[in-house]
Amino acid sequence: MTKKRKRTSVASFVSQLDPTSPRKHNLSAYHPDLDFSTFSPSSLALYTSLLPHCLVHPSSFPPKLLKYWYQRYTLFTLYAAGCLLDAESWFSVTPESVAFRIAKRCACDGTVVDLFAGAGGNAIQLAMTCGKVIAVEMDETRLKLARWNASVYGVEERIAFVRGDSLELMKTLRRWREKGGEEEGQEEVWNGLKASELKAVEAVFLSPPWGGVDYAQSSQREHLGTSKAREGEYDLSSVQPIHGADLFHQVHKAFNTSNIAYYLPRNTSLQQLSDLTTSLDPPQPPVRIEYQYVNHGTKLSSLTAYYGALAAEWDDELDDWRKTPTTA
Ligand code: MGP
Contact 10, 36 (CB under 8 A): yes
Ligand 1 centre distance from Cα of residue 91 (Å):
6
pLDDT tens digits along 197-241: 998 999 999 999 998 777 876 665 656 566 778 888 999 999 999
Q: Among 31-35, 193-197, 290-294, 317-321, whose mean pLDDT is lowest?
A: 317-321
**Distance from C-alpha of 281 to C-alpha of 22, rounded to nearest angstrom:** 59
Q: Which of 92, 94, 122, 236 gets mutated to test ligand 1 (max ligand atoms within 8 A of its CB)? A: 92
Percentage of residues in the chain having pLDDT higher than 90: 62
Ligand 1 centre distance from Cα of residue 70 (Å):
14
**Distance from C-alpha of 179 to C-alpha of 185, rounded to nearest angstrom:** 14
Nearest CA to ligand 1 atom 3: 213
**Distance from C-alpha of 17 to C-alpha of 220, rounded to nearest angstrom:** 45
Q: Which of 69, 98, 302 gets mutated to test ligand 1 (max ligand atoms within 8 A of its CB)? A: 302
Confidence band for 12, pLDDT divided at 50, 70 and 90: very low
Who wins on pLDDT, 25 or 277? 277
Nearest CA to ligand 1 atom 31: 207
Who wins on pLDDT, 269 or 20? 269
Q: What is the dihedral of CA 186, 189, 193, 197, to 10 degrees?
A: -60
What is the chain's mean pLDDT, rounded?
A: 86
Reference 163, options 99, 112, 118, 209; nearest CA is 118
**Distance from C-alpha of 88 to C-alpha of 139, rounded to nearest angstrom:** 11
Confidence band for 54, pLDDT divided at 50, 70 and 90: very high
Q: What is the pLDDT of residue 99?
A: 97
Which domains can be identified in the chain, with CATH numbers? 13-91 (no CATH), 96-312 (3.40.50.150)
Mean pLDDT of 254-277: 95
Ligand 1 centre distance from Cα of residue 280 (Å):
30
Cβ neighbours of residue 286 closer than 8 Å, sequence gap 6 or more: 274, 277, 311
Ligand 1 centre distance from Cα of residue 209 (Å):
10
Reference 115, options 318, 312, 275, 252; nearest CA is 252
Q: Which of 116, 301, 303 gets mutated to test ligand 1 (max ligand atoms within 8 A of its CB)? A: 301
Q: What is the pLDDT of residue 15?
A: 46
DSSP state of 204: E
Percentage of residues in the chain having pLDDT higher than 70: 84
pLDDT tens digits along 62-83: 999 999 999 999 999 999 989 9
**Distance from C-alpha of 83 to C-alpha of 79, rounded to nearest angstrom:** 5
**Distance from C-alpha of 170 to C-alpha of 249, rounded to nearest angstrom:** 11
**Distance from C-alpha of 189 to C-alpha of 144, rounded to nearest angstrom:** 22
pLDDT tens digits along 86-141: 999 999 999 999 999 999 999 999 999 999 999 999 999 999 999 999 999 999 99
Contact 266, 211 (CB under 8 A): no
What's the half-sphere exposure (Cβ side, CA atoms, 13 Å) at 250?
18
Q: What is the pLDDT of residue 224?
A: 56
**Distance from C-alpha of 203 to C-alpha of 259, rounded to nearest angstrom:** 5
Ligand 1 binding pocket (C-beta < 6 A) is 91-95, 207, 209-210, 213, 215, 263, 301-302
260 pLDDT exceeds 70? yes
**Could you tell me where the DSSP H helices lie in the chain?**
11-17, 41-50, 66-70, 72-75, 87-92, 96-105, 121-129, 140-153, 166-178, 195-199, 244-255, 270-275, 309-312
16 pLDDT exceeds 70? no
Ligand 1 centre distance from Cα of residue 68 (Å):
9
